[in-house]
Structure 1
Amino acid sequence: MITLNGRFLTQGLTGVQRYAREITAALDALAARGEAPPMTLLAPPGASGLEAFRHLAPRTAGSRGGQAWEQWALPRAAEGLLLNLGNTGPLLAGRRQAVVIHDAGVFDTPESYGWKFRLWYRVMQRGLARRGARILSVSEFSAGRIAAALDIPRADIGVTLEGGEHILREAADTGVLTRHGLEPGRYALVIGTGAAHKNLGIVRRAMAAQGLVLAVAGAKDAAVFRTGEADAGGEVRALGRVSDAELRALYENALTLLFPSRYEGFGLPPLEAMWCGCPVIAARAGAVPEVCGEAALWFDPDTPDALGEAIATLATDATRRQSFIAAGRARAADFSWEAAARRLLGFVTT
């Protein structure tokens, strides 16, 4: 028996929760076909969306939510192996659990997190490793960094990878372009949060030199692109949070996805972009080279001029842009949520 930690069903949708939801959906599909061991999805009170995973015998337990539920109620109610998909797990479950840790960011890029969050994650993840929990991750890069941070052998960490085909699940909502005054092929897309390691400050000047609009999905306002200079230039459209249907339309009509992050545990936006036929310009850093291979146009994250040159290449050379689109689609086909779920099961059932 495997018990899935369903705490993610009470949380907002970020990359980690996306992974948890898509992996759980893939496991549900495998269970429906009789291709998975017995599993149950256990969630806190108030969890939404349990009905979407009916082949995993979903149920709730306990009377509280959050960390209290995960640390106290979950290990008492779980049967068999407890599988945690979102960076955290109950210390009380010890070695009868597996935990997917997506990156070692709280150790490697501490400036991107508040001190309370950083301290708790460091203490909890080190405690999980010391108590014998099986540690998994989503990329070779992350596995290596986690092994170093938690002082465990790299060979003991399984790598599941991720998928990106979910972005094609809904029809593209092209109304998002009209609402924000975006012309197809005349804007570059950034998925932005403003975290320090996302390295968004170098983007605006590079865009201004090309006379293109910068569309920022996920950012609350354009302030995350302030460079400290009096005139950074360039037009920025802050789109805020967008739906998957809107995001698909943004990918499909953008000149390119810009992904300047210095540190990524996987890099889901580039994979989504490649599924949608959007060429990717990315900093060669973190796990992103594992995801994109030679299907992206790379630049040095410490050299803003290199980013400008890469944007100019896609803006002026239609043949080369099409070659990156084709390469991206071929590369994306190597990643799927079903394949990731099967890899995950392979690690926890042997």
Structure 2
Amino acid sequence: TLLTVHDLSFLRYPGTFVPALRRYLERVVPRSIARADLVLADSAHTRFDIVSLLSVPPVKVQVLYSGVPPRFQPQPEPGEAERIRTHHSLGERSYVLSVGTLQPRKNHVRLMRAFSQLTNRPSLQLLIAGGRGWLCQDILAEAGKHTDRVRILGFVDEADLPALYRSAVLFVFPSLYEGFGLPVLEAMACGVPVVCSNASALPEVAGDAALLVDPLDTGGLAKAMARVLEDTDLRREMIARGLAQAARFTWEQAARQLLDVFASLHP
């Protein structure tokens, strides 16, 4: 049996989960791992968590990275900026983008508070693309305090995401914990500079292409966003590094590795 474990956030940040779901995961995940012949982890950090938190033998856990689909690339389609702005009623204002389900682990409340500190750019707006998850009441309440500058778009169709990324001036992903963090690579692949958390698997995924910040430091997050927005040379360097970093993660590579894993299980 081959099992994939995306993350152990329910153990690292139990307070960000509905209690019933957390109890279910605490019961089912260790049992599933015990039954599996081999466990695939989304990142080296997730592998470390599986081994250290659940006392799984290291030889039983391998890392299998995800890939970035080809549609996430920097070249815009004709008329896409106008289409995406019309579809989401964005107007002509520039925007900073964040993508992720509305739940506490994604750290949206601190993101909105940090963004509100960018007072020298009053026309800049923050867009948060993601459907409502559990325990999202505080996120919605915070958004209600910043209605002039913050918009929660709700769930955005996969087909619209590349254009939404490409029209952003900055992508921000301050998550408390990620087993991988695919939106970081999607944004990089679309040619957008990235500010993200320095926690969990995100430094592993972002490499040297993003500005990394402590996700608990609201002021530090605000300063990082301001730095990327104001420094043209830094932006240019981050975009180039981001494109190179995203290119390292392909589904073709993941598929080849997965076939090798299958072959090792059935020699």
Normalised by the shorter chain, which TM-score bucket? 0.7 to 0.9
CA distance in 2, matches of 1:348, 1:123: 27
Partner-residue secondary structure (3-state), 2:66: coil
How far the C-alpha of 1:112 sits from its partner, in A, is 2.7
Q: Does 1:213 pair with 2:213?
A: no
What TM-score results when the alignment is normalised by the length of structure 2? Answer: 0.85
Between the aligned residues of both structures, percent identity stands at 34
Q: 1:299 aligns with which of 202, 213, 222?
A: 213
Contact 1:189/1:215 (<8 A) preserved = yes
Higher relative contact order (CA 8 A, sep 6+): 2
CA distance in 2, matches of 1:185, 1:135: 46
Give the equivalent residue in structure 1 for 2:68: 164
How far the C-alpha of 1:227 sits from its partner, in A, is 4.6
Q: Does 1:177 pair with 2:91?
A: no
How far the C-alpha of 1:194 sits from its partner, in A, is 2.5
Give the equivalent residue in structure 1 for 2:112: 204
How far the C-alpha of 1:312 sits from its partner, in A, is 1.1
Partner-residue secondary structure (3-state), 2:116: helix
Q: 2:7 aligns with which of 92, 98, 103?
A: 103
Are residues 346 and 184 of structure 1, via their aligned partners in 2, closer, same or farther at CA, if it must alter by over 3 Å? farther
Q: Which amino acid aligns with 1:261?
A: S
Q: 1:255 aligns with which of 144, 169, 177?
A: 169
Are residues 292 and 234 of structure 1, via their aligned partners in 2, closer, same or farther at CA, if it must alter by over 3 Å? farther
Contact 1:104/1:145 (<8 A) preserved = yes
Are residues 249 and 330 of structure 1, via their aligned partners in 2, closer, same or farther at CA, if it must alter by over 3 Å? same
How far the C-alpha of 1:278 sits from its partner, in A, is 1.0
The 5-angstrom pairing of residues 320-339 of structure 1 reads 320-339=234-253
Give the equivalent residue in structure 1 for 2:262: 348
Q: 1:128 aligns with which of 32, 55, 58?
A: 32
What TM-score results when the alignment is normalised by the length of structure 1? Answer: 0.66
Partner-residue secondary structure (3-state), 1:330: helix
Contact 1:165/1:275 (<8 A) preserved = no
The 5-angstrom pairing of residues 58-77 of structure 1 reads none
CA distance in 2, matches of 1:184, 1:299: 29
Superposed CA RMSD:
2.6
The 5-angstrom pairing of residues 38-49 of structure 1 reads none
How far the C-alpha of 1:180 sits from its partner, in A, is 3.2
The 5-angstrom pairing of residues 12-161 of structure 1 reads 97-161=1-65
Farther off after superposition, 275-284 or 199-208: 199-208
Give the equivalent residue in structure 1 for 2:188: 274
How far the C-alpha of 1:234 sits from its partner, in A, is 5.8
Q: Does 1:246 pair with 2:160?
A: yes
Are residues 114 and 167 of structure 1, via their aligned partners in 2, closer, same or farther at CA, if it must alter by over 3 Å? farther
